[in-house]
Amino acid sequence: MRRKILNKLQLKIGDKAPLFEAITDNDTKLSFGDLIGKNNIILYFYPKDMTPGCTAEACGFRDNWDKILSLGATVIGVSSQSPESHREFKAKNNLPFPLLSDQKNEIRKLYGATGFVLPPRVTFVIDKGGVIKYILNSQLNVTKHVRDALENLEKIERSGEPIRG
């Protein structure tokens, strides 16, 4: 017997990034809409703080922070851990970007970044106009997330496309 899979929200390149609000690692509220028009954004969903793959991915973004800033971008990490867990993870790895607590998986659902067993590792590159320019869903190839995000930020900067509102 075949299992019926529910139709999940599937965002595509060219779609507007859904807006949301969430609590950061320092217990402040971040409104995603406040970033639109100011920065290109790397929004990445990761399974869990302190795990080897998630640490390697976060540190990859950290190690490329100056390049990310030079490309007019910022990074936002999202997982279901508490702000306290995020604070510890951020401090231990000296991460310069916010980590959002999505304990009810509401942001994951908005972005279609949900899974059956483990929360998936999904990265979105979003331009200053709030348009999704790149999506990568790869649980195991953590370095590809960083490399591909940087490549796509460079493409956005080279294209000189006007901001779409």
Annotation marks residue 59 as catalytic = no
**Crossing angle of helices 83-93 and 52-63, rounded to 10°:** 60
- Evaluate the CA torsion angle 141, 62, 133, 80 in order and state its sign: positive
Instruction: Say if CB 62 and CB 96 are below 8 A apart.
Output: yes
Catalytic option among 17, 35, 36, 54: 54
Q: What tokens were used for 111?
A: 């972005």
| Residues designated as active site | 54
